[in-house]
Structure 1
Amino acid sequence: MIRISTGLAALALAMALSTAASACETAVSICEKPMRGSFSLVRSGAPAAVLADAGADTAVRHVADAFAADLQRVSGRAAVRLTDPAQAKGELVIVGVLGQSPIIDGLVASGKLKADDISGQWEAFRQIVVERPFPNVPRALVVVGADRRGAVFGTYDLSEKMGVSPWHWFADAPVAARKNLYVTAGARRDQPKVKYRGFFINDEAPALTTWAEKHFGGANSKMYAHVFELLLRMKGNYLWPAMWPPRAFNDDDPQNMILADAMGVVMGTSHHEPLTRAHDEWHRNKEGGVTGGKWDYSTNAENLRTFWRGGMERMMSKPGPGGYEAVVTVGMRGDGDEAMAEGTATQLLETIVADQRKIIAEVTGKPADQTPQIWALYKEVQDYYDHGMKVPDDVTLLFADDNWGQIRRLPTSDLDRKGGYGVYYHFDYVGAPRNYKWLNTVQIEKTWQQMDLAYQRGAKALWIVNVGDIKPVEFPLEFFMDQAWNPEVMTPEAVTRYPTQWAGQVFGQSRGAEIGELITRYSKYAARRKPELIDAGSFRLGEAAGEVLDGGEFGQMVAEWDALERDMLRVKAGLPAQYRDAYLQLVEHPVAAMANLYRLYYAVAWNRRLAGSKDPRANIFADRAEDAFKRDQALSDAYHRANGGKWDGMMTQTHIGYTIWQQPETNIMPRVERVAATGPAKPIVFAKPEAHAPAGVIAIEAVDFSRTVDGAGLGWRAIPHLGRTAGSVTALPQGRAPTTEKDAVRVEYDVTTTQGGDLTVQLYLSPTLDTTGRNSQRIGVSIDDRPMEVLIDKLLPAPTSTTLQEQQAWNEAVQDNARMIETAFADVKPGKHVIKIWRLDDNVVVQKIVAATAPIPLTYLGPPAQARR
């Protein structure tokens, strides 16, 4: 089937046609005007009362209290909090769990509430407007959960819809006052598609650590109360806590695990911390028979088993049956998140897992397969899996990315295994080629593409993302959690709408589009290269002949950041005062700080270029660089002063002066040179930035295709903004088997060449990895009716790459956020032609197509991606 369109224009049309009906026309939606049968959540400034059983689960009582507080935030008046329906009069919100709440079960028995469709379902909920539930209650809004978290998520879902952002505390997102809010009649059911959904606080020193110590005295239950609430408001249920030494979640504050369980949070430990034990406990805690020794099972197994048993006993110490709710990590890595000894046999790891499961069974008093467990296939651990290591069928296999957003492996068979599969993803990382910890550098479009692939391939049991300090990655974190709740509704069109919707929720719907556009541009520019990887030599400068300087690729990037910062400040000027703190954290600071960093290194680059020729203008750039370095600290200081110093310490992460993969202890001013001047320096005059391709070179944005040809149930589709410029194309749906030229799944580009000769065609791809284990991905290219050429990309992730050349190729791909492959077609005549790109393997994402009958220079692309020959 041939599908003719112009890429983004077609997508825009599809979005317009798929716009959802007004919220007030769907069941259990929240509006500011009453409709027939609607429930008055807030009327004339008076909020409804909130009822939950006195004997309800603690998580239900927590969320009922939180919802009452949310009603007060919205209405300005305290909501009555009840535990006895006999005390209720007027509008009433009821929260409870099916089969556990006498109030809910009584409504079911009386025929006033139907919720049998959620019975026994994981975290399902039903929201329903019920007529005359009690004598003095004419109408009630009932949130009934199939379990305790179902009730929690069904309630927080209402909070978000009435204007309380999940970030109301963690980013100071203001809550708009409402005199009237009504819930439309009817019923609504929902539940998650991914079972466990959460995030990992990691690499949290110095930022979150400094902040927590200043404001809470450490990473204790007072701090975690806010973390747990944030997680639950985003409909997440699972947390790996901060673990950077010397932190240990359960040992530092025993109330941590008690509060987590009370609020309904499922706790875990990171990929290298078995049986609920924080790794730092091994070095601090010697009681219970643990006498120390090496973290080595081949020589110190008895002590390790004693240590792990203590973790399980603590998990089971909750009064009553069942213990504290957790997913238990099994397996083992080396001491301190390092690889185990080279050549570790899979047989030893199988023995370790078997012994750990014996401990689990003995301590819990039930078969090990009744306790949720994961085995994280992180870094070298995946090699053990590849070499045939087997774990019991009930253990969730947690695949991982390469730490830079490219998933390394996904299931290819045995999709019905009891424990299923999951993914450990990264928004933050400490390691080669350099750390990235400072600011958000994540494109949600990339996250969507990779996690949609994971879901389509059967990784549905657990999604967890490393978020570092939480604060710099608010936007992509909530996107990750929203996608995890229901990956099936997160379509490319939904991804495109997401920034506007997210910004509208925080800053008001009237500002959603313009602030969402700022966030999208920021994310695209920041993802081109992590700031820790930027220095004076990162991007090409143009010529410095005569008085006019050509900024080149570097200058084009700086110009884009300058324009974004101007737009950001223009929007800020029109914001009411109550939005300024949230705007600073979510938009202003990241844009200003990243723009300033680019200007810093741009000035250093010109300083060194001009100083080399003894040009006195070098001194002007030295001054600019030093000013930018000072401004970097001033921007951090302004962040720390916001909202009375609430976030003081959160922007202490160093980011300037990297020379190796590890961070410098402090920000280091880059070296600048000064030239002895004999007179006034010439003025700085830059040539106008040019981004077009030179004569003879055809550069096409992948989204600007002429037509697509679908086949085998697949078709190329535009993903706006994914990559370095306008967007990318990939074949959807993802997760399908390879196709051939006969399937004819292709995307076509009409081009006109001005001269004849051999035509070189380059494809700029977003870095992706073969997730099937073949370690290669294929894509086809042809011109007109000539035979298809098969291009093979063999990008291998660290630590799989074994040669220096392979490691360098991976380093370049993750640094540039682009990967180039090419082919050539002989003797192409001048005139009109069609370049065709064929889908062969899954998970290939094309950003740009470049074609030329002459040598392609290194200078034509500017910001998109430097050509590499």
Structure 2
Amino acid sequence: MKALRVVLWCSAVALATPAWACDTPVSVCARPSPGAFALVSRNGPAQLLVDPGADPAVVHAADGFAHDLAEISGRAPRRIQSTDQITGDVVIAGVLGHSAVIDALVRSGKIKAADIAGEWEAFRQIVVEHPFANVARALVVVGADRRGAVFGLYDLSEKMGVSPWSWWADVPVSRRAAIFVTAGSRRDQPKVRYRGFFINDEDPGFSSWARKQFGGPNAKAYAHVFDLLLRLKGNTLWPAMWAPKAFNADDPQNMILADRVGVVMGTSHHEPLTRAQDEWHRNLTGGVTGGKWDYATNAANLRTFWRGGIERMMAKHDGTPYESLVTIGMRGDGDEAMSGGTAISLLESVVAAQREIIADVTGKPAEQTPQVWALYKEVQDYYDKGMKVPDDVILLFSDDNWGQIRRLPDAVDRRKGGYGVYYHFDYVGAPRNYKWLDTVQIEKTWQQMDLAYQKGARSLWMVNVGDIKPMEYPLSFFLKQAWDPAAMTPEALARYPVDWARGTFGAGGADAIGGLVTRYAHLAARRKPELLDADSFALGPVTPATLDSGDFGARVAEWDALQADMRATKQRLRPDQRDAYFQLVEHPIEALGNLYNLYYAVAWNRRLAAAADARANSFADQAEAAFARDAAITEAYHALNGRKWDGMMAQTHIGYTGWQQPDRNVMPAVTRVAGAAEPIRFVPTRRSGDAGIAAAEYTRAIGGRGLIWRTIAHLGRSAAVVALPQGAKPTTQADGVRLEYAVSTESAGRISVKVALAPTLDVTGGGTLRLGISLDDGPMRTLEDHLTPAPNDATSQAQRDWNAAVESNIRELEVDFPSQRAGAHVVKIWRIDDNVVLEELHVGVVPE
């Protein structure tokens, strides 16, 4: 595949200019317009008014917004608490029904906000003419609740040029002499109720970094985590939990701060009733005598332990609970599977006991406390076999840990608590850990989470992000989609990389940087770095004079081209943008490109050394140099900005021999051969076999039953084609929903058609995805894909098939048609089931 060409821009000044929207109500704009509000002018930033006694979350967000205004304008805004202190244009922020100033504006008819009353996290931003005597104009941010006001303020911050990653990725804020907000009123609200991320697998990265910077994952560290979450318009956090960490017990200020700033705290899928798993092993809670994590044999101690968690949740000074989303259910100790003989009835009794505790401690029916039950791994199997879940509890389905959602509700299956999805950008487990770098294609995330939304999973979206860094880009996308999945159309998805780059680095270089992050994700998703080794890809033939680089060399060439473009782009940046660029763009490209070069050199060394070819020695040198460079790249990351990120990139990634990491990076073995070597000369790669047909290269696309075919660029190997809207019921050949491909064969014989699909799973619980294939006007053949993880039977064919699919991020199915004439043919791909994502076709002739 040819590398995309990067288009460079003309000046560093242009890079600093964001794309200002000026044609819609309450848009942030660089120039004045009729009725516009001057947020920043030659007189400095507008004043900021928040009622005395406002909710602490609103005050905290107002503090953040004021800091942002100061960063942009160079002057801190004047802070006031009553209308008689206003001396000019003013920003007013508060909660409807809890702000005297806002409620007075409503009563006077100056603002209208009835449409957000009682809504979850809704906000309205309104430019108001003459809100008070001697005040020409106000910008009013009205929240339906406290987080609505928070999101309304941070929405303005991002649009005026403050990235949510300003602290977390050292994204600089550019000074502005003037910022205006266009006239009118704008309403917004999230479509998914709970949206957040899970800090997991956080040793040695996040953990060692937090210890060095803050003394541990305490309230000082979490203050930055909470700020990031809220600026990304998320609201829910599962905190770091690898032993010996316990969010609520390690620093009592953690939960207090979370509640004060408006973050909903939960615990991971296997930590019931706000209890960290490590707390059980500490044996420090009153009344708990320890024992085995087994409800069948140790129920009394477990109930006491869980009760302590809910009592702590209710220990807020005003008698209200700390805002929480309570995990219920149970897995084995340390997130292991429960015993094979675990009865469904036992799990149901566990949940019944937990809900009794919740009701007893809170003094309210259990359904009045938000709860979630994660149907992770074997727990989903119990659910599929009939396990009953209380109707008010959110059912949290999961992916297979590699980005394929396993189960979703049926369209007719509605429940009071609703459904959610637990998704993974990071994972510890078979067939291999992947924790080091971002290897996520946002296009795949979009496809799976759009399907989830269409199928009704709208109560909770939770993503495992490992150490937070380096998942900045996909996490931004995940929470953007979670805020309004319906707005993340294929067109919005295609614009997202450039939009993200513009918001992070400015308008001038957005196209180039958006192209870089897209190309990186495309290459990284083909095989995760922990799965790379010297045998990952084929080398070409060897002659006494030349080496054929083979498929391995072709892949290395793609990384080399990407690195060259990334370095050229870097030269156009301002010096103050270099740290952010290194973290968000340069480091992953350099680090993974270097890893490919390392294993490529090892592969050639071993190939040549086995033949006593002295050219092996040059490759040994190259491999050792790449290994040393890997350490240097990591050190460069840790040295950034006065060692602000020291420890964050400490994750082991070289030398995997099984599913679990080695303790440290291990230089792959190389061999040196005695003798003089000829200069190394490569020849172009010679490929053999049938050329693939990209799915997007169809000659006809026929829709039906409300479905249309759409090409999703950069999904999979190049682009994929899906039938939209997702979530629709199966179709038949009679419905006519199909793609047609014109092919030509040079000889007669049996025709083989192989389809390459993005790995996906049957989310209905049936275990099979179907598509149809026909040739010319012949009958349709149905292909059935039974891809499914089988972790309880690691040696089964099903598990081997799943391993192969997720390791190479592709699934291939094949069908043969009886002897055919030479010449032109039409291959037809028929839609049958939802969630089938076509990437390529390979058509070949098998001679008779």
TM-score bucket of the superposed structures, by smaller chain: over 0.9
SS of equivalent to 2:420: strand
Output the amino acid matched with 2:33: M
Report if aligned partners of 1:133, 1:139 keep a CA contact under 8 Å in 2: yes
**Residues 321-373 of structure 1 deviation map (CA, whole Å, 9 limit, x = unaligned):** 42100000000111111111111001011111000000000111100000000
Q: Does 1:700 pair with 2:693?
A: yes
SS of equivalent to 1:312: helix
* Residue matched to 1:821: 813
Output the amino acid matched with 1:734: Q
* Residue matched to 2:81: 83
Report if aligned partners of 1:442, 1:527 keep a CA contact under 8 Å in 2: yes
SS of equivalent to 2:509: helix
Deviation at 1:574, TM superposition (A): 1.2
Deviation at 1:54, TM superposition (A): 1.1
**Residues 199-241 of structure 1 deviation map (CA, whole Å, 9 limit, x = unaligned):** 0000000011111000000000000000000000010000000
**Residues 405-441 of structure 1 deviation map (CA, whole Å, 9 limit, x = unaligned):** 0000111255331000000000000000010000000
* Residue matched to 1:720: 713
Number of residue equivalences: 831
Q: Does 1:150 pair with 2:148?
A: yes
* Residue matched to 2:682: 686
Which of the residues 816, 830, 833 maps onto 1:841? 833
Which of the residues 387, 401, 404 maps onto 1:403? 401
SS of equivalent to 1:528: coil
Distance 1:362 1:445, change over 3 A: same
* Residue matched to 2:345: 347
CA distance in 1, matches of 2:347, 2:321: 27
Q: Does 1:793 pair with 2:785?
A: yes
* TM-score w.r.t. length of structure 2: 0.97
Report if aligned partners of 2:73, 2:175 keep a CA contact under 8 Å in 1: yes
* Residue matched to 1:547: 545
Deviation at 1:48, TM superposition (A): 0.6
Report if aligned partners of 2:264, 2:324 keep a CA contact under 8 Å in 1: yes
With 82-91 and 792-801 compared, the bigger mean Cα shift is at: 792-801
SS of equivalent to 1:143: strand
* Residue matched to 1:643: 641
CA distance in 1, matches of 2:622, 2:200: 35
Which of the residues 66, 69, 90 maps onto 1:68? 66
Report if aligned partners of 1:45, 1:180 keep a CA contact under 8 Å in 2: no
Output the amino acid matched with 1:723: G
Deviation at 1:698, TM superposition (A): 4.0
Distance 1:507 1:413, change over 3 A: closer
Report if aligned partners of 2:106, 2:113 keep a CA contact under 8 Å in 1: yes
SS of equivalent to 1:408: coil
CA distance in 1, matches of 2:593, 2:841: 28
* Residue matched to 2:270: 272
Output the amino acid matched with 2:706: G
Deviation at 1:263, TM superposition (A): 0.4
Which of the residues 316, 319, 322 maps onto 1:318? 316
* Residue matched to 2:734: 742
CA distance in 2, matches of 1:361, 1:292: 24
Unaligned stretches of 5+ residues in structure 2: 5-18
Deviation at 1:152, TM superposition (A): 0.5
* Residue matched to 1:25: 23
SS of equivalent to 1:200: strand
CA distance in 2, matches of 1:616, 1:45: 73
CA distance in 1, matches of 2:814, 2:481: 34
Identity in percent: 65
* Residue matched to 2:15: none
Deviation at 1:751, TM superposition (A): 1.8
Deviation at 1:175, TM superposition (A): 1.1
SS of equivalent to 1:23: coil
* TM-score w.r.t. length of structure 1: 0.94
* Residue matched to 2:566: 568
Output the amino acid matched with 1:647: W
CA distance in 2, matches of 1:170, 1:112: 39
CA distance in 1, matches of 2:447, 2:397: 16
Distance 1:428 1:581, change over 3 A: same
Report if aligned partners of 1:49, 1:68 keep a CA contact under 8 Å in 2: no
Report if aligned partners of 1:65, 1:81 keep a CA contact under 8 Å in 2: no
**Residues 52-107 of structure 1 deviation map (CA, whole Å, 9 limit, x = unaligned):** 11110000000111101110111111111221221111111110000111111011
Deviation at 1:798, TM superposition (A): 3.5
CA distance in 1, matches of 2:373, 2:43: 51
Deviation at 1:257, TM superposition (A): 0.4
SS of equivalent to 2:471: helix
CA distance in 2, matches of 1:244, 1:704: 47
Report if aligned partners of 1:279, 1:336 keep a CA contact under 8 Å in 2: yes
CA distance in 1, matches of 2:83, 2:626: 63
Tell me the C-alpha RMSD between the 2 structures. 1.4
Report if aligned partners of 1:228, 1:265 keep a CA contact under 8 Å in 2: yes
Output the amino acid matched with 2:696: V
Q: Does 1:782 pair with 2:778?
A: no
CA distance in 2, matches of 1:342, 1:798: 14
Which of the residues 649, 653, 664 maps onto 2:651? 653
Output the amino acid matched with 1:779: L
List structure 1 segments (4+ residues) > 6 angstroms apart after TM superposition: none
Report if aligned partners of 2:540, 2:685 keep a CA contact under 8 Å in 1: no
CA distance in 2, matches of 1:175, 1:83: 27
SS of equivalent to 1:354: helix
With 284-293 and 194-203 compared, the bigger mean Cα shift is at: 284-293
Deviation at 1:727, TM superposition (A): 0.8
Deviation at 1:567, TM superposition (A): 0.2
Alignment map for 1:446-461 (pairs within 5 Å): 446-461=444-459
* Residue matched to 2:16: none
Report if aligned partners of 2:748, 2:847 keep a CA contact under 8 Å in 1: no
* Residue matched to 1:253: 251
Distance 1:855 1:80, change over 3 A: farther
CA distance in 1, matches of 2:242, 2:322: 23
CA distance in 2, matches of 1:506, 1:703: 31
Alignment map for 1:140-219 (pairs within 5 Å): 140-219=138-217
CA distance in 2, matches of 1:134, 1:80: 18
* Residue matched to 1:3: none
CA distance in 1, matches of 2:796, 2:223: 47
SS of equivalent to 1:94: strand
Deviation at 1:770, TM superposition (A): 0.5
Output the amino acid matched with 1:135: A
CA distance in 1, matches of 2:581, 2:776: 51
CA distance in 1, matches of 2:265, 2:556: 43
* Residue matched to 1:15: none
Output the amino acid matched with 1:297: Y
